[in-house]
Amino acid sequence: MQYPLLLLLLVTIILWLPPTSSLDATNSTTKKRREVISGRHAAVATDDGRCSRIGMHVLREGGHAVDASVAAALCLGVVSPASSGIGGGAFMLIRLASGEAQAFDMRETAPLLASENMYSSNTTLKGKGALSIAIPGELAGLHKAWKQYGRLPWKRLVSPAERLARLGFKISPYLNMQMRRTESGILADEGLRHVFTSNGSLLKTGETSRNWKLAQTLRDISNFGPRAFYNGSIGSKLVRDIHKVGGILTMKDLQNYRVKLSKPISYDTLGFKILAMPPPSGGPPMILMLNILSQYGNVSGVSDPLWVHREIESLKHVFAVRMNLGDPEFVNVTNVLADMLSPKFAEELKKTIYDNRTFDPSHYGGRWNQIHDHGTSHLSIIDNKQNAVSMTTTVNGYFGAQILSSSTGIILNNEMDDFSIPGNDSTVPPPAPPNFIRPGKRPLSSMTPTIVLKDEQLKAVVGASGGGMIIAATAQVLLNHFARGLDPLSSVMAPRVYHQLLPNVVQYENWTTVTGDHFEVPAQIRKALHKKGHVLDPLSGGSICQFIVQQIEALKNNGGTREIVAVSDPRKGGFSSGFCNWGVGLGTTELKLVIAFVPMLVFFPLVHS
């Protein structure tokens, strides 16, 4: 008679024990953060918790990871409009459960009327306003990926974003910070002013913003697909608005826009296979950084300051090489790409790194000046069938060109700023010809969506936002976890350093975020770097990373279940969302309650009969 009760007690106790996983955040101060979830079978990590949740609901309804990325990306375009939207472009990396992988290049493209000297060396014109707008690609790419892999109806994926735009959404602390930094631009543009101000001043955190026109646009897109945008009424309204402010985009530009599909770059390093976007993305530079650091072999005896020094020196080499890249349809990048993916090349570069000092930029052999790109938003997704999406999307600078098309509600990108332009000869070193403007060309990008495999099994999905700092951040997070053995949350939380060769300065995080977290590179590391000759500048900002890791080791013991840990970088205030296969959408706690109480209902009458 006592057996069922004892059994029940035992089951309850076991279920109540905390999940044990080597991947769990081990640091007690960071364990309880809502930015990290574990023990799920599917997860969505984005810059904004609202969009992670929308993506997760799509997965729960049986949607593919691609379905979730469409819904989440369109959501980000509404609630995080300073960083992304259908007026911008993106890179999307897909890896299916079957092992097939594909790269979608939906990056913005130079209009047909653009030309190498269209700015007469005026970098202000390139960076802001009507002439900085390139042909948007995000919507075309999302739709193409959905047509290929999507399982849920297109309308179902567009409607959450449409609803947010129509009913309004609360301004997040991060968006409010972006608005304050762009205040004069917002006040100067009628469209932006309409959506982001009230009574002449910026909306505050927590206040509601509505974008009726964007809601209408999204409704048309949900009914008619991207045709309405690239060859229909939305497109003609957009072109008209752009012309009114002096832009050169035409209907023909929109009609000609093409999403480019290719095989991802695949590279074995550190005992893993890295899948990354081909050029003009930040993928090859990021791989080169991993490549150089992997040449050092066993890292377990390396002190933190020395490790960080080597990371910085690798970055300086990476940025020297990367400006030889450009749009592969216009520039022959065969040789430079082969170098970046060559262990021998990395070994040669490593030989010129000294553990006791840094050098002037000329030491690293860079021939061209750097571009400094901005903005962006990243999402990482694994669905419960093991399909994965890593997508980075952007309008470039905060609020792109700082123009909102009044008749469509769409914020326009300033992606032309990512091209290099011929300067007045005073610039040393000169701008990079492989990245000069041509009609129909796509500018160089730092965006680095990445997928990691171990023995052909999905191991991690990662990527970051933050312009030129994306390459360093993605590599540092991967190295923290896969080379230095930090748990996923600590890998993301670790303070970061950035270097782009020019200027010859280490930017170290000293950042109190809008949500009150403080990230600061420890004094001991700064002191050691200073001694080696580095010039250090504090940085109150940087890159934001979305990192999902899958524990596949357990799969090998028969009967083991795979487990996902998803981390949204707290630096932007986002959080991730996920669910378990068996507990359709329930959190682990709810699940334990259900499992514990169902037997009780069954056994209780038995015991007392």
Ligand X SMILES: *[C@@H]1O[C@H](CO)[C@@H](O)[C@H](O)[C@H]1NC(C)=O
Question: Which residues carry out catalysis?
Answer: 376
Looking at the Cβ atoms of 214 and 478, the one nearer to ligand X is 478
* Residue span binding ligand X (CB under 6 A) among the ranges 153-161, 296-304, 364-372, 543-551: 296-304
- Bridge partners (DSSP) of residue 101 are 95
Q: Which of 184, 335, 558, 589 binds ligand X (CB under 6 A)?
A: 335
For residue 298, the minimal CB distance to ligand X (Å) is 4
Contact 550, 563 (CB under 8 A): yes
* Residue span binding ligand X (CB under 6 A) among the ranges 15-23, 122-130, 234-242, 590-598: 122-130
Looking at the Cβ atoms of 184 and 300, the one nearer to ligand X is 300
Contact 218, 158 (CB under 8 A): yes
Q: Which of 4, 11, 12, 30 binds ligand X (CB under 6 A)?
A: 30
Q: Does 184 bind ligand X (CB under 6 A)?
A: no
* Residue span binding ligand X (CB under 6 A) among the ranges 101-109, 135-143, 293-301, 590-598: 293-301
Q: Does 301 bind ligand X (CB under 6 A)?
A: yes
Collapse the DSSP code of 404 into the 3-class scheme (helix H, G, I; strand E, B; otherwise coil) and give the result: strand
Q: Which of 22, 208, 332, 561 binds ligand X (CB under 6 A)?
A: 332
Residue ranges in 510-549 that form contacts with ligand X under rule CB under 6 A: 510, 538
Contacts by 52-57, CB closer than 8 A, 24 or more apart: 52/568, 52/574, 52/575, 52/576, 52/577, 53/577, 54/160, 54/161, 55/379, 55/381, 55/577, 56/577, 56/578, 56/579, 57/160
| Residues 346-375 as x/- pattern, contact with ligand X by CB under 6 A | --------x-x-------------------
DSSP string, 78-135: HHSTTT--TTSEEEEEEE-TTS-EEEEEE--B--TT--TTTTTT-HHHHHSSGGG--B
* Residue span binding ligand X (CB under 6 A) among the ranges 103-111, 163-171, 329-337, 433-441: 329-337
* Residue span binding ligand X (CB under 6 A) among the ranges 212-220, 328-336, 342-350, 399-407: 328-336
Looking at the Cβ atoms of 121 and 266, the one nearer to ligand X is 121
Burial 151-171 (b: 16+ CB within 10 A, else e): ebebebbbbbbbbbbbebbeb
Specify the pairing of strand 536-539 against strand 506-512: parallel
Q: Which of 334, 557, 589, 609 binds ligand X (CB under 6 A)?
A: 334
Q: Which of 117, 124, 223, 362 binds ligand X (CB under 6 A)?
A: 124
Q: Rounded to 5 degrees, what are φ and ψ at 498? A: -130, 145
Q: Which of 13, 22, 27, 584 binds ligand X (CB under 6 A)?
A: 27
Looking at the Cβ atoms of 2 and 335, the one nearer to ligand X is 335
Residue ranges in 405-434 that form contacts with ligand X under rule CB under 6 A: 424
Collapse the DSSP code of 497 into the 3-class scheme (helix H, G, I; strand E, B; otherwise coil) and give the result: strand
Looking at the Cβ atoms of 155 and 252, the one nearer to ligand X is 252
Tokens of 166: 């129509």
Q: Does 153 bind ligand X (CB under 6 A)?
A: no
Q: How far apart are CA 85 and CA 399, in angstroms?
A: 10
* Residue span binding ligand X (CB under 6 A) among the ranges 27-35, 167-175, 262-270, 306-314: 27-35
Contact 65, 381 (CB under 8 A): yes
Q: Rounded to 5 degrees, what are φ and ψ at 184? A: -65, -35
Contacts of 267 (CB under 8 A, 6+ apart): 273, 274, 276, 287, 291, 341
Q: Half-sphere exposure (CA, 13 Å, Cβ side) for 80?
A: 31
For residue 245, the minimal CB distance to ligand X (Å) is 12
For residue 354, the minimal CB distance to ligand X (Å) is 5
Tokens of 86: 């259908």
Q: Does 300 bind ligand X (CB under 6 A)?
A: yes
Q: Which of 2, 98, 298, 609 binds ligand X (CB under 6 A)?
A: 298
For residue 27, the minimal CB distance to ligand X (Å) is 4
Collapse the DSSP code of 419 into the 3-class scheme (helix H, G, I; strand E, B; otherwise coil) and give the result: coil
Looking at the Cβ atoms of 236 and 407, the one nearer to ligand X is 236
Q: Which of 199, 557, 558, 609 binds ligand X (CB under 6 A)?
A: 199
| Residues 555-584 as x/- pattern, contact with ligand X by CB under 6 A | ------------------------------
Q: Which of 493, 525, 529, 552 binds ligand X (CB under 6 A)?
A: 493
Residue of 123, 48, 171 whose CA lies nearest to 417: 123
Q: How far apart are CA 443 and CA 276, in angstroms?
A: 18
Number of amino acids touching ligand X (CB under 6 A): 23
Tokens of 534: 């580095």
* Residue span binding ligand X (CB under 6 A) among the ranges 26-34, 362-370, 374-382, 434-442: 26-34
Q: How far apart are CA 207 and CA 443, in angstroms?
A: 36
For residue 61, the minimal CB distance to ligand X (Å) is 31
For residue 98, the minimal CB distance to ligand X (Å) is 31
Looking at the Cβ atoms of 359 and 603, the one nearer to ligand X is 359
CA distances from 166 to 48, 66, 80, 184, 518 (A): 18, 24, 15, 26, 35
226 cis-preceded (ω within 30 degrees of 0):
no
Q: How far apart are CA 609 and CA 603, in angstroms?
A: 10
Q: Does 125 bind ligand X (CB under 6 A)?
A: yes
| Residues 209-238 as x/- pattern, contact with ligand X by CB under 6 A | ----------------------x-------
Q: How far apart are CA 368 and CA 86, in angstroms?
A: 32
Q: Which of 255, 303, 352, 561 binds ligand X (CB under 6 A)?
A: 255
For residue 300, the minimal CB distance to ligand X (Å) is 4
Give one word for 103, left, alpha or beta, with left for phi > 0 and alpha for psi -120 to 50. Answer: beta
Burial of 245 (C-beta count, 10 Å sphere; 0-12/13-18/19+): middle
Q: Does 208 bind ligand X (CB under 6 A)?
A: no
| Binding positions for ligand X, rule: CB under 6 A | 27, 29-30, 120-122, 124-125, 199, 231, 255, 298, 300-301, 332, 334-335, 354, 356, 424, 493, 510, 538
